[in-house]
Chain A
Amino acid sequence: MFDFLGRYDVLGAFWTTVQLTLLSAVGSLVWGTLLAGMRVGPVPLMRGFGTAYVNIVRNIPLTVIILFSSLGLSQTLGITLGAHDFKVQGFRLAVLGLILYTSAFVCEAIRSGINTVPVGQAEAARAIGLSFTQVLGLIVLPQAFRAAIGPLTNVLIALTKNTTVAAAIGVAEAAFLMKEMIENEAQLLVISAVIAFGFVCLTLPTGLILGWVGKKMAVKR
Chain B
Amino acid sequence: MTNVSVAKEDVVTSDELVVLRSVNKHFGALHVLQDIDLTIDRGEVVVVIGPSGSGKSTLCRTINRLETIDSGTITIDGKPLPHEGRELARLRADVGMVFQSFNLFAHKTVLENVMLGQVKVRKADKKQAEEKARALLDRVGVGTQADKYPAQLSGGQQQRVAIARALAMDPKVMLFDEPTSALDPEMINEVLEVMQQLAREGMTMIVVTHEMGFARSAANRVVFMADGRIVEQATPDQFFSNPRSDRAKDFLSKILHH
Which A residues have a C-beta under 8 Å from some C-beta of B?
42, 118, 120-121, 123-132, 134, 138-139, 142-143, 146, 219-221
Knowing A129-B121, A130-B120, A221-B106, the reply to whether A120 touches B101 (Cβ < 8 A) is yes
Interface contact B107-A142, CB-CB below 8 Å: yes
Which residues of chain A are near B116, meaning CB under 8 Å? 128, 130, 138
Interface contact B89-A130, CB-CB below 8 Å: yes
What 4 A-B pairs come out closest when comparing CB atoms? A129-B93, A124-B103, A128-B117, A120-B103
Interface contact A134-B66, CB-CB below 8 Å: no
Interface residues on B, range: 20 to 34
Interface contact B149-A220, CB-CB below 8 Å: yes
CA distance A129 to B120 in the complex (A): 9
| B64: Cβ under 8 A from any A Cβ | yes
Knowing A134-B120, A138-B120, A220-B151, the reply to whether A127 touches B107 (Cβ < 8 A) is no
CA distance A129 to B152 in the complex (A): 26
CA distance A54 to B84 in the complex (A): 27
Interface contact B169-A128, CB-CB below 8 Å: yes
Main secondary structure of the interface of A (DSSP, over half): helix
Interface contact B99-A123, CB-CB below 8 Å: yes
A-B contact count, CB below 8 Å? 73
Given A123-B103, A219-B107, output 17 extra A-B contacts at Cβ < 8 Å: A118-B101, A120-B101, A121-B103, A124-B105, A127-B64, A128-B116, A128-B165, A128-B169, A129-B92, A131-B89, A138-B116, A138-B120, A142-B107, A143-B106, A219-B106, A220-B106, A220-B151
Which residues of chain A are near B105, meaning CB under 8 Å? 121, 124-125, 139
Q: Which residues of B in the span 85-107 have a Cβ within 8 Å of any Cβ on A?
A: 86, 89-97, 99, 101-107
Which residues of chain B are near A121, meaning CB under 8 Å? 103, 105-106
Q: Which residues of B in the span 141-160 have a Cβ within 8 Å of any Cβ on A?
A: 149, 151-152
| B36: Cβ under 8 A from any A Cβ | no
CA distance A146 to B151 in the complex (A): 16
Interface contact B121-A130, CB-CB below 8 Å: yes
| B166: Cβ under 8 A from any A Cβ | yes
Interface contact A129-B107, CB-CB below 8 Å: no
Identity of the chain B residue whose Cβ is nearest the Cβ of A128 in the assembled complex? B117
CA distance A219 to B109 in the complex (A): 11
Which residues of chain A are near B166, meaning CB under 8 Å? 127-128
Q: Separation in Å of the B153 CB from the closest CB of chain A?
A: 11
Interface contact A221-B151, CB-CB below 8 Å: yes
Partner of B121, one of A42, A128, A139, A219: A128
